Amino acid sequence: MRIDESLFFGNLGAVELRLTQQLEASPAIRDLVLVMSAVNRMDATAVAVFSELNQALAERNKRLHLAEVKGPVQDRLMKSPLWASLSGEVFLSANEAFEKLGGQPH
């Protein structure tokens, strides 16, 4: 799933709703890959929300993966608890994520 904007407190509700709808529409999904190539920044609220999402997914035996994370966003995430607790992996590209996860049963 591609995120097409920077993430901050003002748009998190819409992003969360979209993620929830996608997960409910496909309950068999075990790996959620967020393609973050268009995300230029994440505020503290966004980092906290993604930490909660990661935990909620892990409790349901689902993994959160990130792909194409830009340097400044990655720097911020690396300083957050999300980075150490991420249930999935961080991929350099969406293609890399597809190749690694695409062959696994979902």
Report the CATH number that the domain containing residue 47 is assigned in CATH. 3.30.750.24
Confidence of residue 105 (pLDDT cuts 50, 70, 90): very low
Which residues 6+ apart lie within 8 Å of 36 measured at CB? 3, 66, 67, 68, 69, 70, 73
- What does the block give as tokens for 41? 């920044």
Altogether, the residues listed in the chain come to a count of 106
Domain count, the chain: 1
Query: Quick check: pTM over 0.85?
Result: yes
What is the Cα–Cα distance from 57 to 39, expressed in whole angstroms?
Answer: 21
pLDDT digits (tens, 9 = 90+) for 4-40: 999 999 999 999 999 989 999 998 999 999 999 999 9
Domain assignment present for residue 64? The answer is yes
Burial class (CB in 10 A: 0-12, 13-18, 19+), 92: exposed
CA dihedral over 56, 85, 49, 103, signed as positive or negative = negative
Q: Which domain holds residue 21?
A: 12-101
CB atoms near residue 12 (< 10 Å): 17
